[in-house]
Amino acid sequence: MLHSSNSRRSLQLIQRRLFILLLRAFTLVVVLVMVCIFSLAGLFIGRAANNDPWFRFPLATALETYYLAQGGWQGVEVLFADQSIASLPALPAHWQNFLLVDANGLALATHGRADPARRGSLYQAQAGDEPIDLYVNGVLVGKLIIETAQFSSAWWAAQRLLQPVIFLSIFPAVLTLIIGMLLMRRVVTPLAEVIAAAQAVAAGDLSARVTVRGPDDLRALTDSFNQMTSALERSARERRNMLADIAHELRTPLTVIRGRLEGIVDGIYAPDEGHIAPVLEETYLLERLVEDLRLLTLAEARQLHFERRPLALVDLAQRAAGLFEAEAAEKAIALTVEAGQVGMVAADPHRVEQVIGNLVSNALRYTPAGGSVTIQVTQTPSGVELRVSDSGPGAPEEDLPHIFDRFWRGEKSRSRAGGGAGLGLAIARQLIEAQRGAVFAQNRPQGGLTVGFFLPLD
């Protein structure tokens, strides 16, 4: 219960961190987009303000039109008195203080808080004044002075254009954040579960699994993670089982050796050949077991050296039959070879002969007296198969996938009394697969077991 509570707390913490991280990323994107929009708008306004009269202060355009129509500034005070022109819409009240001067700087008219007494006198620039040049047909005809430090014609034009830009920017920004949050919920939870499960595996919990969900990439990630943890868990379980099996296999001969030697030392057994020979046999058994373990370890690590060359499996099968002929005769077992015309395969003769020997020895071990063992070599479209079939008790169907596992023995037919440590078929699989081949095992319809291998043609 405590472990489950810690896992949930860790998952929630990871989800919170990922959510905040992604939220910051989306917010940064929105800010950068808005900055780019405002920068481009400002650049556009700045360039347009220097070339397009539409961006000029409206009163400046009205005054230029008035001068062009009247041919001078006569009666311009009337224009300033017209509220429909002077009090421009959307123009702040503190920007409505105007002073008009002619080309020589003589004050012609004022409006707002501008001092009326200045009319008729030369214009003296003051702090905060914003002059706008007035041109007619390319000739400077006067200046419009806005008497406030808070006004800028460029800023006024920018404000008029940026208002819709700001409005249009806020909507996609909010929409982007909403979509980002929805996407984060879909991505954050599966990713957080993977991270939490990885932390659990790092802490030693190989049973951690992740629910497969989310986008395709995350589904592929979680599926790969689950496969990885399953492989790690299976490997750890096999390692524990292998160590237990090795300890079991070593304990029996060591117990025999120790008992015999203690008996000889204590004077219970005479130090003669009859009591020493069993000890020597157990040392041979230990030697074979250690050598098999070494060979299996090297084969699984793909560190064995193979001298591949063309060879005929029929010759190796007949050679194996000759080597086991005496053992088969002693058990009254008929050992035969059946082979037709088959092609050559590229393989290591020594390793393949070792595999055939393991298969034949295994078949002879579990075939009762009066039975038969057949070595059959056949050609297939893509290679050559060698099968070793016996007339023994066979194996349960559910045990067939485990026949080539280390230290595997069935409940009845493969007991410790039958001899062997259960490494022969495991070694055979590693030696054949290392040479691009495959092993197989199946029960015969008429009874017995068939174990064999396939090697491709070269």
pLDDT tens column, 356-401: 998 998 899 889 999 999 999 999 888 999 999 999 888 888 888 8
Give the residue numbers spanning the domain of 405. 309-456
**Mean pLDDT, to the nearest integer, of 239-252?**
75
Which span out of 146-160, 376-390, 398-412, 422-436 was modeled with the highest average pLDDT? 376-390
- Check pLDDT > 90 for residue 439: yes
Same domain, 405 and 450: yes
Please state, rounded to an integer, the average pLDDT across all residues of the chain: 77
Alpha-carbon distance 177 to 191, whole Å?
A: 20
Answering whether pTM is above 0.85, one says: no
What is the model's pLDDT at position 386? 95
Asked whether the CA dihedral 76, 81, 82, 85 is positive or negative, the reply is positive
| Least confident window among 192-196, 200-204, 418-422 | 418-422
Contact 414, 451 (CB under 8 A): no
Q: What is the pLDDT of residues 81-115, one digit of tens each?
A: 655 454 554 444 444 577 888 888 888 887 765 55
Task: Please indicate, yes or no, if residue 211 is contained in any of the structural domains.
Answer: no
Same domain, 355 and 437: yes
Last-in-domain residue among 128, 151, 174: 151
How long a stretch of residues is the chain?
A: 458
Same domain, 323 and 445: yes
Same domain, 409 and 321: yes
Same domain, 437 and 363: yes
Q: What is the pLDDT of residues 5-63, one digit of tens each?
A: 555 666 666 667 666 766 677 677 767 777 777 676 666 655 554 444 445 667 788 88
Alpha-carbon distance 424 to 406, whole Å?
A: 8
* Helices (H), ranges, 266-348: 273-300, 313-323, 325-330
pLDDT above 70 covers a percentage of the chain that reads 73
pLDDT band at 184; cut points 50, 70, 90: low
Task: Please indicate, yes or no, if residue 131 is contained in any of the structural domains.
Answer: yes
Query: 238: domain CATH number?
Result: 1.10.287.130
Number of separate domains in the chain: 4
Same domain, 235 and 296: yes
Last-in-domain residue among 243, 271, 300: 300
Same domain, 221 and 267: yes
Same domain, 186 and 286: no
Contact 339, 376 (CB under 8 A): yes
Task: Please indicate, yes or no, if residue 207 is contained in any of the structural domains.
Answer: no
Radius of gyration of the chain, Cα coordinates, nearest whole angstrom: 48
Same domain, 107 and 189: no
